[in-house]
């Protein structure tokens, strides 16, 4: 599977994962809420680190930056 998460999206996912982890640790979440928050935090962290998201793949979303050739004045002048 190719990368489909851009750098900004990766940062947001990793920060959100740490925020959820802190919420689980410090807030009185118990039972199912803590388990769901832990699973979501783990998924966000792993997808942010690997730059691959299964949900994005299923929905056809790609936030990664595709490199485009950079044009300089030398290229236009034929040098």
pLDDT tens digits for range 26-63: 988 888 999 999 999 999 999 999 989 999 889 988 88
Residue 40 CA neighbour count, 13 Å, CB half? 14
C-alpha 58/C-alpha 45 separation (Å) is 19
Are the beta carbons of 6 and 63 closer than 8 angstroms?
yes
Q: What is the dihedral of CA 38, 41, 42, 46, to 10 degrees?
A: 180
User: Angle 71-62-72 (CA atoms, 0-180°, nearest 5)?
Assistant: 5
Percent of the chain at pLDDT > 90 equals 39
| Counted domains in the chain | 1
Other beta carbons within 10 Å of 4:
20
Range of the domain at 47: 7-61
Residue 57 domain-assigned (yes or no): yes
1 occurs within a structural domain: no
Assess if residue 66 is contained within a domain.
no
pTM, rounded to two decimals? 0.74
Residue 70 lies in a domain: no
* Domain annotation covers residue 12: yes
């Amino acid at each position: 599977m190719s990368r489909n998460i851009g750098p900004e999206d990766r940062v947001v996912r990793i920060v959100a994962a740490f925020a959820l982890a802190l919420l689980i640790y410090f807030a009185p979440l118990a039972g199912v809420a803590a388990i769901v928050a832990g699973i979501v935090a783990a998924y966000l962290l792993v997808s942010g680190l690997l730059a691959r998201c299964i949900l994005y793949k299923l929905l056809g979303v790609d936030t990664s930056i595709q490199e485009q050739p950079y044009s300089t004045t030398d290229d236009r002048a034929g040098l």
